[in-house]
Amino acid sequence: QSVNMKRAFLTAVATLIGVLPPLGETGPITAPHRLGTVRLVPTRLDTHRPKQRPLTLNSDLVLESARQNLPGVALTVQAIDWAVVREDIVQMLERSSDDTLAPTMLRLAWHASGTFDGDGDPVGGIVHHGATMRFEPEAGYEDNRGLQVAREALAEVRGRHPAASHADIWVLGGYVAVERLGGPHIAFRHGRTDGEAGGIHCPPESRLPHWNASGDSLRDTFGRLGFGDRELVALIGAHTVGHTRPERSGFPYMQWDGTPKKFDNEFFDFLLQDWWVFDDEDPEHPYYRNRSWIMLLSDWELREDGAFRRIVEEFARDQDAWHAEFATAFKKLTELGWTLEDSPETYTLE
């Protein structure tokens, strides 16, 4: 039956018949409206059969032929106004008393996307069967400690927009966080789908870059994601916001630079200074420190590796250049696995 439903949808897409009703309405389709992501929720009229999961079409046309080709299935159209979703995230950040929430939302989008491996099983990432961090074991990975704060905050937003996927909400939350912290605007493309189970469906923790990674290890990890040295340095520069926290990372409560609430290029400037000392008082979590500031061993590699350091020096001089390259790299990270065949029509929220 599932195969027949998929075949029916493919037939519907091919015929390009039907259009979306006004926002908030369901039932007969009467007039064209371009609203981007559309969710078709099939409910079996035969209650003795299992209820089917919602199906999402990333198209500006809801296809009437889907109704004609799915006998026994009632379809309800739910449209998502992504400008409203974005504003809800902005308002949530403004109301929050937690000044670390925005950096944590950025980290959530990063970690949920950075598990992608096109040759892996599972593939991971956040585009297809994404947001598996809602389940164990991924939710409990050491590198993901503390991210439940962002997941819970964004779950409240999704509660007002249940047709949206968790994956899309997490990515948009990351984009909004960057912008609210003073970083670049990133155009949002939607249509990601959620995984529905954990266990073997969760990508392994080893795919994320580790805090003590060597230069070669960083290149291997980011290379798997399709990134070169410039993109690697640009993305790690996001350490300019937020803090380390003992209950999350095992490191003391410290910040990377003097402006942990501002998405500026001070991280690169601090990294190049000479006042750092190696601290291995805790042999399991050694780091470089200067008073209340910290650099992880992986950060330090950006200073010590000649090719990385030249990029660090450039970004320390030119914040606009870093912002532009970060925006491009972060968008690429959060769209890994998307192909033209998956989504022939690209929708962005400018």
- Tell me which residues are annotated as active site: 111, 256
Residues paired with residue 79 on neighbouring β-strands, in sequence order: 38
Give the three-state DSSP class for 144.
helix
Q: Residues 211-234, buried b or exposed e (16+ Cβ, 10 A)?
A: bebebeebbebbebbebebbbbbb
Q: In the Cβ-directed half-sphere of 188, how many Cα atoms lie within 13 Å?
A: 26
* Nearest-angstrom CA–CA distance, 222 and 110: 12
Residue 33, beta-bridge partner list: none
For the record, the structure tokens of 133 come out as 């961090």
C-beta of residue 174 within 8 angstroms of C-beta of residue 106: yes
Q: Give the residue ranges of DSSP H helices in the chain.
A: 2-15, 64-69, 82-95, 101-113, 148-159, 166-180, 215-224, 229-236, 266-271, 297-304, 306-317, 319-333
Residue whose entry in the numeric block shows the structure tokens 């297809």: 128
8-state DSSP, 166: H
Distance CA 171, CA 127 (A): 10
Cβ atoms of residues 126 and 202 within 8 Å = no
> Please, which residues bridge with residue 288 across strands?
278, 295
